[in-house]
Amino acid sequence: MVEDVPADAELNELELRAAGISYVTRRVDTEAAFRGALGAFAPDIVLSDHSLPQFSAADTLRIALQESPDTPVIIVTGSLDEETAAEYIKAGATDYILKHHLQRLGPAVLRALELKRAREEQDRAEQARRQSEERYRMLVEGVRDVILALSPDGIIISLNPAFEAVLELPRTEWIGKPFDQLVHPEDLPLAVELFSRVACGEPRPANPFRVRTRKGDYRLVEFAATAQRREGQLVGILGIGRDVTERAQLEQQLRQAQKMEAVGRLAGGIAHDFNNLLTAITGYAELLQEDLAADDRRREDVVEIRKAADRAAGLTRQLLAFSRQQVLQPRVLDLNALVTEFENMLRRLLGEDIALATRLAPVLGAVQADPGQLEQVVMNLAVNSRDAMPGGGQLTIETANVDLDDAFAREHHPARPGPYVLLAVSDTGTGMSAEVQAHLFEPFFTTKEKGKGTGLGLATVYGIVKHSGGFISVYSEVGHGTTFKIYIPRVEGSAPPRPGAAPASVARGTETVLIAEDQPAVRAVARQILARHGYTVLEAPSGEAALDLAARYSGTIHLLLTDVVMSGLSGPELARRLLPVRPEARVLFMSGYTGEAIVHHGLAAPGIHYIQKPFAPEALAAKVREVLDG
């Protein structure tokens, strides 16, 4: 109370009590005291007399509005004309009370306090709204997903900053434009269907469509939409879009890998039986050729049989290379040396109308891989390039040391950071479309006319490179040629000299060899091969029969030649049971199964001898001699 007459202050208090108001009061009558009370006492309401000796209600009102603008001020006076009262109200007073109508004081105070509470609640609500809007703004502007609001007729009315981050388009320029101008023409029906159904109130799952970027290309964005209604009327559509371009690419790569893995399993499943058949065909063809006179016309027929068997064996090897199920013989290699040794053969392969250029790094790191498989990689890529340059052109083979960082690895799945050796094969041929590149490494996929290719060349390259721990990057444009970049992990050390050519003939032997093989044709051809090379041959159709024969045979058994996987007793189990009673025997395993089966049976360890079916007679004889002399 700003009041200099204590009795008048008591009258005010009586009216407050009469109105049922619980209160604590403080009376002041100077400006200094009033200012102090505003801070220390912090009143909920101020009652001020109109005129004090050194202070007035006008001063009270001015100071209160400056220092505590939310505190109501009621003027209480003995006499006040209407003009002065109106000035007080204009200046910010809440009410005025004449002392001869003091009974109005209690209700006036209650109204002022209620008004104050209402204003405070409104302020709190407004503050909460602003905080909510700020949180919403931070949420909308901070998320990586595109958030947009559309009018009922599809006009963009709001966009968040992610729109610019994802599509690199200025959002201010797109406010007021139709949303369908962003969508790929082929995907427009899908987008229209999504928003139409949402507008009709139908629940819709998110929809995988393409949205144009600033560069003119398209990103794949997954949209979910919600109808915005007011009093039952559609007022807009809220859409949330997530960039799933990389996810879609990874899913495509996963499907591709699964498809290739399925063919790999198929290849591994048929390899055993197929290789057994080829072993018999190849073996008997060579044995027959040896028996025919040099001028016998039937030798040409045998040669053709052998060529067909070799082509079939090559097809099987390609399938197994693609499926990464071959038994590898990796060693430290110098890619420069491999390319140099291969260069003359490549020139003959390419023909005179294609120029071959090599750009080999003067100092190149080593890689660890199977040399025969890397030769196959270069050969397959060279053949593909030759076929892509029917009118001639240039094939360039390059090598280099490269170090890949995290940024490169993120953009070139499945690359990993680290040191690599790069082998690049480039041509000036017809190039490939994006559609062709999408199927490039699929087995049996080919753009060549029927009879001109199996479609396994690049699938084989893919399998070999992946099996060697590397990866492939392809760049091609229609009419501008193709570049295959093969990255193989770099290893420490230097490559030893490559081995020389194998001897022309195989030394004969007189030792005794026990053959355990459950395929009669393979067993028979192996027996003939070894017998022709001077060996005494014992044969058994199973592991159990081989143990029984060894128990009954009185002479020395120098070598056990056994299939790995047989019905009943397996080859490794046969060897484990035989060696304690025949410790002098060496063991040579053979199999038409894939490398995966060989590893599973523990035959990939050093010191274990193994020959892959199908094998030529000379190869088997040479391997047997090698194991016996080892």
How confident is the model over 61-89, as a mean pLDDT?
A: 87
d(CA 389, CA 391): 5
Whether residue 602 is predicted with pLDDT greater than 60 in this model: the reply is no
Enumerate residues 6+ apart whose C-beta is below 8 A from 409. 415, 416, 417
Residue 269 is predicted with a pLDDT of 66
Cis? peptide before 69, omega within 30° of 0: no
Whether residue 174 is predicted with pLDDT greater than 50 in this model: the reply is yes
Residue 314 is predicted with a pLDDT of 66
Whether residue 599 is predicted with pLDDT greater than 80 in this model: the reply is no
How confident is the model over 489-510, as a mean pLDDT?
A: 69
Residue type, 283: G
Closest C-alpha among 101, 39, 84, 94 to residue 61: 94
Task: Spell out the domains of the chain, with CATH numbers in brackets.
Answer: 6-119 (3.40.50.2300), 143-243 (3.30.450.20), 248-312+505-630 (3.40.50.2300), 331-491 (3.30.565.10)
268 falls in which pLDDT band (50, 70, 90)?
low
d(CA 604, CA 589): 11
Helices and strands, number each (H, E), in the chain: 20, 20
Whether residue 506 is predicted with pLDDT greater than 60 in this model: the reply is yes
Structural contact between residues 174 and 268, judged by C-beta atoms closer than 8 angstroms: no
- Mutual angle of helices 105-142 and 6-18, in 10-degree steps: 70
Whether residue 420 is predicted with pLDDT greater than 90 in this model: the reply is yes
Residue whose pair of structure tokens reads 């194998």 in the numeric block? 502
327 falls in which pLDDT band (50, 70, 90)?
low
Closest C-alpha among 336, 350, 362 to residue 394: 350
Instruction: Report CA-CA distances (Å) from 385 to 389, 429, 494, 533, 553.
Output: 6, 7, 31, 44, 59
607/406: higher pLDDT: 406
Cis? peptide before 614, omega within 30° of 0: yes
How confident is the model over 260-270, as a mean pLDDT?
A: 68
Structural contact between residues 88 and 41, judged by C-beta atoms closer than 8 angstroms: no
546 falls in which pLDDT band (50, 70, 90)?
very high
Radius of gyration of the chain (CA): 46
Residue 446 is predicted with a pLDDT of 66
Question: And the tokens for 159?
Answer: 């966009």
Closest C-alpha among 318, 332, 325, 327 to residue 369: 332
Structural contact between residues 220 and 244, judged by C-beta atoms closer than 8 angstroms: yes
How confident is the model over 542-558, as a mean pLDDT?
A: 94
Whether residue 242 is predicted with pLDDT greater than 70 in this model: the reply is yes
Residue 548 is predicted with a pLDDT of 95
Q: Which residues of 440-477 are buried (b: 16+ CB within 10 A; e: fewer)?
A: bbbbeebeeeeeebbebbbbbbbbbbbbbbbbbeeebe
Residue whose pair of structure tokens reads 């990389």 in the numeric block? 246
Residue 320 is predicted with a pLDDT of 62
Structural contact between residues 325 and 595, judged by C-beta atoms closer than 8 angstroms: yes
Whether residue 298 is predicted with pLDDT greater than 70 in this model: the reply is yes
What is residue 587's three-state secondary structure?
strand
How confident is the model over 175-199, as a mean pLDDT?
A: 87
What is residue 454's three-state secondary structure?
coil
